[in-house]
């Protein structure tokens, strides 16, 4: 039996393209600056915890989000003119939820979080019926980051720079399948230095 590989492969060597749906004024402001970044999201329901959110290699899905934001459905401030910004992202030290080591770490963080809430007799956050309302997932991911800072009897583990996961979203493409119309890979960039540049995607 081959011994399991502990997270020695969490620093991903590849760069990826991410796409962010926003208002045109926000996008143009970032594109015209050498130092500005998109807003760091810290909503209580953010699936992957705090970070700057991108759809990996999917500008169309980013535009769908911006169009929904135009109707006031998915953003705090109404998007007046939908826009998509592209970014070149170095994933760096990534909590990649396609990897077994990362999945184990998140599962352990959940167990630890349950104990904390039980100790203080607080109700554990729950994910909502909407696919977007992930209060439990956010709490678990943020607790995982905290645990890495507080390793018992040892040095803190290095901070994750990005969190990456696939999500099943939308209606099934056809009867009998689990493939859904809005499946996507999402990235939360916690360390803005991972963003090597922004660009305007071509149509």
Contact 113, 125 (CB under 8 A): no
The per-residue pLDDT for 13 is: 74
Q: Which two three-digit tokens encode residue 119?
A: 């100790």
pLDDT given for residue 3 in this prediction: 38
Question: What burial class does residue 197 get, using C-beta atoms within 10 Å of its C-beta: 0-12 exposed, 13-18 middle, 19+ buried?
Answer: exposed
Nearest alpha-carbon partner for 87 in 165, 18, 4, 153: 18
DSSP letter at 105 equals: H
d(CA 59, CA 39): 18
Per-residue pLDDT at 150 = 85
The pLDDT value given to residue 151: 77
The CA distances from residue 200 to 10, 20, 29, 94, 193, in Å, are 29, 11, 12, 25, 19
State how far the Cα of 51 lies from the Cα of 40, in Å rounded to an integer.
5
Other C-beta atoms lying within 10 Å of the C-beta of residue 32 = 9
Burial class (CB in 10 A: 0-12, 13-18, 19+), 18: buried
Token pair of 198, please?
């922004």
pLDDT averaged per 10 residues, the chain (length 203): 50 89 96 94 92 97 93 75 97 95 96 95 88 89 94 84 94 95 96 97 87
Nearest by Cα to 163 from 99, 107, 112:
99
- pTM, 2 dp: 0.90
Supply the pLDDT for residue 76: 63
């Amino acid at each position: 039996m081959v011994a399991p590989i502990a997270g020695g492969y969490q620093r991903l060597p590849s760069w990826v393209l991410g796409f962010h749906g926003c208002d045109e004024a926000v996008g143009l402001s970032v594109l015209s600056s050498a130092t500005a970044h998109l807003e760091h999201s810290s909503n209580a329901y953010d699936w992957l915890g705090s970070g700057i959110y991108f759809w990996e290699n999917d500008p169309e899905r980013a535009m769908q989000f911006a169009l929904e934001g135009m109707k006031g459905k998915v953003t705090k401030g109404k998007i007046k003119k939908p826009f998509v910004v592209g970014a070149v992202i170095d994933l760096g030290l990534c909590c990649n939820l396609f990897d077994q080591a990362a999945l184990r770490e998140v599962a352990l963080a959940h167990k630890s979080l349950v104990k904390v809430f039980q100790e203080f007799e607080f109700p554990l956050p729950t994910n909502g019926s909407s696919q977007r309302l992930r209060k439990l997932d956010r709490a678990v991911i943020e607790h995982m980051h905290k645990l890495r800072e507080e390793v018992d009897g040892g040095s803190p583990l290095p901070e994750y720079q990005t969190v990456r996961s696939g999500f099943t979203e939308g209606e099934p493409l056809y009867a009998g399948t689990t493939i859904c119309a809005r499946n996507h890979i999402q990235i939360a960039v916690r360390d803005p230095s991972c963003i090597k540049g922004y660009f305007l995607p071509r149509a």
